[in-house]
Amino acid sequence: MPRFSAPFAAAVAEQIWDMKYRLKEADGTPVDLTVEDSWRRVARALAANEPDPAAREAEFLAALEGFRFLPAGRILSGAGTGRAVTLFNCFVMGTIPDSMEGIFQALKEAALTLQQGGGIGYDFSTIRPKGALVRSVAADASGPLSFMDVWDAMCRTIMSAGSRRGAMMAVMRCDHPDIEAFIAAKEDPARLRMFNLSVLVTDAFMEAVKADAPWELRFGGEVWRSLPARALWDRIMRSTYHFAEPGVIFIDRINAMNNLHYAETIAATNPCGEQPLPPYGACLLGSVNLAALVRAPFAAGAHIDGGELDALVRTAVRMMDNVVDVSRFPLPEQEAEAQAKRRIGLGVTGLADALLMTGLRYGSEEAAAQTGEWLHAISRAAYLASVGLAQERGAFPLFQAEGFLNSGNMRGMDEDIRALVREHGIRNALVTSIAPTGTISLYAGNVSSGIEPVFAWSYTRKVLQKDGTRSEEEVTDHALALWRAENGDAPLPGHFVTAQDLTPMEHLRMQAAAQRWVDSSISKTINCPADISFDDFRDVYLAAWDMGCKGCTTYRPNAVTGSVLTATTEGGEAPALFSDPLARPATLSGETYKIRWPGSEHALYITINDILIEDRRRPFEVFINSKNMEHFAWTVALTRMISAVFRRGGDISFVVEELKAVFDPRGGAWIEGRYIPSILAAIGGVIERHLIAIGFIAGEGLGLKSDPGAGLAAGVPQSSCPACGAFDLRMIEGCLTCAACGFSKCG
């Protein structure tokens, strides 16, 4: 007997439902006894305002059953709970005024949004460049990057207070005078870790790159300086090649293709890039599970039934339109934007699995053509459903027929739909978007995520059991599991490919095929091999521009982004991860450091002892002592935990990184001319200095993962998951994701 209950296909899917989407009382007592109860709760909440709630509830429940329609996690976890939460995923904040008062008002708004778990995007191009005169105080401006550091610290503080993890996107125009500093910002491994960064690339800049023309950097109508456009483009490309950021957003194309081009200007996106939004813009997300719709999988006649897909999409659009009215919002400006335009972001997941079931190789021309057909069908059904809702409920408030029909995506829409929109209007200004779906795809039985290829056929994941123990469960791709059920251990057909089997251009072909029928944008990572040449890597971005994409995000394994690396010693060997903790010798040598924390009566004394392994010192244990008994319990706990990590071996630099990232909500302190955000960060700094002194890491802020001696070691991840410690981090849809526990970090 399996340890999981129907309709779940795996224990891990049931665990995700239990941990993330199941309604429970404050004390943990389940309210939803089964996943069907969760579906019914969501269906009832979204049908509450319908003229016939019971009938619509039944329709909505049928769409949710079998994981055919997957509302985004915020809807699954929040709808019908009575809790003051937002059901929206994506927010772009208001334009940042170029004044101290305006900047910190914007910071406050960001904090309120992050507190509710929303992912936010910001355009920092509106802040005057570093060195510009501030006449009111007769001083030079510190520039936008200095304020991005403030945002970064705020996000860390919100997280340290126990709130849901928020993600942030920062963008800057390619003609801002500080653009080169922006491009290089995350070459410092300790800086702006709460942000994704992207450059807003204009049509004029791309033309200048192709023509090898000069490019002016300007602010406030004033030209600051000029440089070759290709030189700036290469700066972007080299940073992305070596450090995985910044991404590239083709902002003029986004505005030109926006259905609301007549009513708004977009200058930023949400953290994963699938939602370009105006100031205070908000959007909710949901996905049609294509893998659940394939009939006769792997047979000669395998297909998706067009009628079933059409009906499911129409129901999904109605459900999502209802979400606009039942959701709460962190800010009134966000609610006003959502109501005025009624954006929804209906996308897909399970595309790669659906292609496998129908005999198509992901990345092939045939697969791209089939993807285009499916996305076209979804787009038609979604637009027709929204027109129907306009007939029933009225068009979105800012609808203007001619402006809408002559804007963006609508210019290329099918003529019959254009005619209906002209006659009846449309309920939702934009309807389609393809978002990251990692968690909901796993919840749906580990179908392939979004429009991404299958990343791995199977992997082992730790699953928390009801008795508190953890078991290891093999998680298998949904399509492979179906194929194995019929074919046993027979060799896989040739069209079974994973992300690692594809060329960058095959990835890009699929993104471009999907983009044609998506009116917002797409979250897609183009995986590049570690040994791709710089020229070939740069060509991927140029091809993305030529193929009509709205942006481009790549992932090339490297020493900064948690790739398959180990840090080599001078002798060429990697620090070992010991299968059993090291035993303590009778005597050890070490150093003792003193910290005098401002405002504290007694100093902290930190002793770090080292062990000698093959003539090299590595930390073995740490002790923290103080006469201040207030610190006794947590210092003992901290020293025991850190010492346990030290004794397991491997890369222990994450200890430094985690401690230095802790921000005390009550404020930090200035020590020796530097601001230290917490006493724990000060302890992290001491451990870091010790590691530098014994030659374990190269220098301050450089943990093992950026040690210039780092080298490739196939199959051995260098960085461990900060949530569970597993060495199984992967880049999926722009987010660093742990395959063992599901932890995800976008940025």
Q: 162: buried, middle or exposed (CB in 10 Å: 19+, 13-18, 0-12)?
A: exposed
Beta-carbon-side half-sphere exposure of residue 231 (alpha carbons within 13 Å)? 10
Measured at the CA of 138, the angle between CA 132 and CA 144, to 5 degrees, comes to 35
Using CA atoms, how far apart are residues 316 and 532, in angstroms rounded to an integer? 41
Residues 6+ apart with CB under 8 A from 425: 387, 390, 394, 395, 396, 399, 401
Catalytic residue among 14, 57, 59, 274: 274
Evaluate whether residue 747 is within a structural domain: no
Q: State residue 425 phi and psi, 5-degree precision.
A: 80, -170
Q: Which of 504, 522, 540 is the last residue of a domain?
A: 522
Q: Which two tokens stand for residue 626?
A: 């103080």
pTM as predicted: 0.78
Q: Which of 205, 221, 256 is the last residue of a domain?
A: 256
The Cα-based distances of 741 to 6, 243, 344, 717, 727 in angstroms read: 22, 25, 30, 15, 11
Q: Determine the angle formed by the axes of helices 679-693 and 653-660, rounding to 10 degrees.
A: 150
Residues 190 and 73 in one domain: no
- The pLDDT of residue 420 is 98
Evaluate whether residue 275 is within a structural domain: no
pLDDT (tens digit, 9 = 90+) per residue, 366-375?
A: 999 999 999 9
Evaluate whether residue 370 is within a structural domain: yes
Active site residue 89: no
> What is the arithmetic mean of pLDDT over 55-71?
97
Is-contact 638 616, C-beta < 8 A?
Answer: no
Residues 373 and 505 in one domain: yes
Neighbours of 117 (CB within 10 A): 20
- The pLDDT of residue 559 is 52
Evaluate whether residue 2 is within a structural domain: no
Residues β-bridged to residue 736: 731, 745
Q: State residue 295 phi and psi, 5-degree precision.
A: -105, 140
Is-contact 726 741, C-beta < 8 A?
Answer: yes
Cis bond upstream, residue 246 (ω within 30) = yes
Q: Is pLDDT of 283 > 60?
A: yes
Residues 242 and 364 in one domain: no
Evaluate whether residue 75 is within a structural domain: yes
Residues 423 and 286 in one domain: yes
Evaluate whether residue 682 is within a structural domain: yes
Average pLDDT, the chain: 86
More confidently predicted of 528 and 43: 43
Evaluate whether residue 721 is within a structural domain: no
- The pLDDT of residue 203 is 97
pLDDT (tens digit, 9 = 90+) per residue, 596-608?
A: 887 777 788 899 9
Q: In this prediction, what percent of the chain has a pLDDT beyond 70?
A: 85
Using CA atoms, how far apart are residues 346 and 317, in angstroms rounded to an integer? 7
Residues 6+ apart with CB under 8 A from 607: 590, 591, 592, 593, 622, 623, 624, 625
DSSP states of 115-139 = HTT-EEEEEGGGSPPTT-EETTTTE
Residues 364 and 468 in one domain: yes
Q: Which two tokens stand for residue 307?
A: 């009628």
More confidently predicted of 463 and 329: 329
- Residue 70: which of 473, 515, 447, 454 has the closest Cα? 447
Is-contact 448 732, C-beta < 8 A?
Answer: no
- The pLDDT of residue 190 is 73
pLDDT (tens digit, 9 = 90+) per residue, 618-676?
A: 888 898 888 776 667 787 888 888 888 888 776 677 788 788 878 776 667 777 767 78
Q: Sign of the CA dihedral 172, 174, 176, 182?
A: positive
The CATH number of the domain holding residue 398 is 3.20.70.20
Residues 165 and 311 in one domain: no
Q: Is pLDDT of 747 > 70?
A: no
- The pLDDT of residue 744 is 66
Q: Which of 522, 555, 580 is the last residue of a domain?
A: 522
- Residue 259: which of 515, 520, 522 has the closest Cα? 520
Evaluate whether residue 54 is within a structural domain: no
Residues 6+ apart with CB under 8 A from 363: 453, 497, 502, 503, 506, 507, 509, 510
Say if strands 90-92 and 119-123 run parallel, antiparallel, or are unpaired: parallel
Q: How many domains does the chain have?
A: 3
**Residue 465 banded pLDDT, cuts 50, 70, 90:** low
> What is the arithmetic mean of pLDDT over 447-456?
94
Q: In this prediction, what percent of the chain has a pLDDT beyond 90?
A: 59
Residues 639 and 654 in one domain: yes
pLDDT (tens digit, 9 = 90+) per residue, 318-351?
A: 999 999 999 999 999 999 999 999 999 999 999 9
> What is the arithmetic mean of pLDDT over 129-135?
88
Q: Hey, what amino acid is at 523?
A: S
Catalytic residue among 90, 155, 272, 721: 272
Catalytic residue among 89, 196, 255, 270: 270
- The pLDDT of residue 651 is 66
- The pLDDT of residue 643 is 86
Residues 462 and 482 in one domain: yes
Task: Quote helix, strand, coil % in the chain, to nearest 5.
Answer: 40, 20, 40
Active site residue 428: no
The Cα-based distances of 358 to 361, 366, 513 in angstroms read: 9, 11, 18
Residues 445 and 477 in one domain: yes
**Residue 193 banded pLDDT, cuts 50, 70, 90:** confident
Active site residue 283: no
pLDDT (tens digit, 9 = 90+) per residue, 681-695?
A: 889 889 888 888 887
Residues 331 and 435 in one domain: yes
Residues 481 and 390 in one domain: yes
Is-contact 233 183, C-beta < 8 A?
Answer: no
pLDDT (tens digit, 9 = 90+) per residue, 473-486?
A: 788 999 999 999 99
**Residue 377 banded pLDDT, cuts 50, 70, 90:** very high
Q: State residue 330 phi and psi, 5-degree precision.
A: -60, -35
Q: Which two tokens stand for residue 607?
A: 């002793």
Residues 581 and 508 in one domain: no
- The pLDDT of residue 158 is 76
Q: Which domain holds residue 236?
A: 94-256
> What is the arithmetic mean of pLDDT over 60-79?
96
